[in-house]
Structure 1
Amino acid sequence: MSCGLAASPDIAEDALHAAHDAGDRAQLGYPPVVRGLMNLICQYVTWRLARQRVDFSNTLEVGAGAGRLAHVLRHRGCYVTAIDPHSSAPGVLNSRTSDLIDHSDRYSAIVYWHVLEHIPRPNAELRAAAALLRPGGSLVIAVPDPTSVQSHMFGAAWRGWNLPEHRFHFSRPVLTELLTSVGLQARTLNLSGGHTLAGWMDGPTHAAAGSHLTEVWSRGGVRNMIGRLTSTVTLPLAVAARCYEVIFRRTGAFVAVGVGVKDPAAGAVTRPMSNSPLPASSR
Structure 2
Amino acid sequence: MSASLVNYKNCPFCNNAAIHPVLAAKDHTVSHESFEIWHCDDCSNRFTQAVPDLMHIGPYYQSTEYISHSDTAKGFINRLYHWVRSYTLGTKRRLIQRVTGIERGALLDIGAGTGAFVTTMLQAGWKVTGLEPDSIARENAKNKHGIELRSADDIYSLPPTSFDVITLWHVLEHVHDLHGYFRQFKALLKPGGKLVIAVPNYTSKDAAAYGRHWAAWDVPRHLYHFSPAGMQQLAHLEGFSIQSMHPMWFDAFYVSMLSEQYKNGKPNLAGALLKGLSSNLAAIGDKRRCSSLIYVLSLV
SS for the counterpart of 2:215 is coil
Equivalence for 2:47: 7
CA distance in 2: counterparts of 1:85 and 1:181, whole angstroms: 26
TM-score between the two structures when normalised by the length of structure 1 = 0.74
CA distance in 1: counterparts of 2:269 and 2:264, whole angstroms: 9
- The alignment status of 1:27 with 2:71, answered yes or no, reads yes
- The alignment status of 1:203 with 2:259, answered yes or no, reads yes
Structure 1 residues 194 and 105: alpha-carbon distance in aligned structure 2, compared to 1, 3 A threshold: farther
Letter paired with 1:10: V
Letter paired with 1:117: E
CA distances 1:56-107 after superposition (whole Å, capped 9, x unpaired): 6211000111212112212222121111111322225241255453526610
CA distances 1:170-212 after superposition (whole Å, capped 9, x unpaired): 2222222222333223334143376222223332232233xxx
Q: Is the 8 A contact 1:142 1:253 kept in 2?
A: yes
Match for 1:74 among 122, 131, 134? Answer: 122
Equivalence for 2:95: 48
Q: Is the 8 A contact 1:97 1:128 kept in 2?
A: no
Letter paired with 1:248: D
Structure 1 residues 248 and 232: alpha-carbon distance in aligned structure 2, compared to 1, 3 A threshold: same
Residue 154 of structure 1 and its aligned partner are, at CA, apart by 0.4
SS for the counterpart of 2:51 is coil
TM-score between the two structures when normalised by the length of structure 2 = 0.71
Greater relative contact order, per chain length (Cα 8 Å cut-off, separation 6+): 1
RMSD over aligned Cα atoms: 2.8
SS for the counterpart of 2:251 is coil
CA distance in 1: counterparts of 2:203 and 2:193, whole angstroms: 29
Match for 2:189 among 128, 133, 138? Answer: 133
SS for the counterpart of 1:160 is helix
Letter paired with 2:51: D
SS for the counterpart of 1:195 is helix
Equivalence for 2:284: 246
Structure 1 residues 239 and 7: alpha-carbon distance in aligned structure 2, compared to 1, 3 A threshold: closer
CA distance in 2: counterparts of 1:54 and 1:205, whole angstroms: 41
SS for the counterpart of 2:164 is strand
Deviates more, 1:13-22 or 1:83-92: 13-22
Equivalence for 1:220: none
SS for the counterpart of 1:165 is coil
Q: Is the 8 A contact 1:98 1:128 kept in 2?
A: no
CA distances 1:119-138 after superposition (whole Å, capped 9, x unpaired): 11211111112110000000
CA distances 1:112-164 after superposition (whole Å, capped 9, x unpaired): 11111111121111111211000000011111112111111101111211011
Structure 1 residues 32 and 10: alpha-carbon distance in aligned structure 2, compared to 1, 3 A threshold: closer
Letter paired with 1:46: R
CA distance in 2: counterparts of 1:32 and 1:21, whole angstroms: 12
Equivalence for 1:83: 131
- The alignment status of 1:111 with 2:167, answered yes or no, reads yes
Equivalence for 2:62: 18
Residue 33 of structure 1 and its aligned partner are, at CA, apart by 6.7
Letter paired with 2:238: V
CA distance in 2: counterparts of 1:127 and 1:170, whole angstroms: 19
Equivalence for 2:30: none
SS for the counterpart of 2:216 is coil
Query: How many residues end up aligned between the 2 structures?
Result: 243
> What stretches of structure 1 of length at least 5 have no aligned partner?
210-225, 262-283
Structure with more of its chain in strand, by fraction: 2
Equivalence for 2:247: 191
Residue 241 of structure 1 and its aligned partner are, at CA, apart by 3.9
CA distance in 1: counterparts of 2:176 and 2:186, whole angstroms: 17
CA distance in 2: counterparts of 1:236 and 1:21, whole angstroms: 25
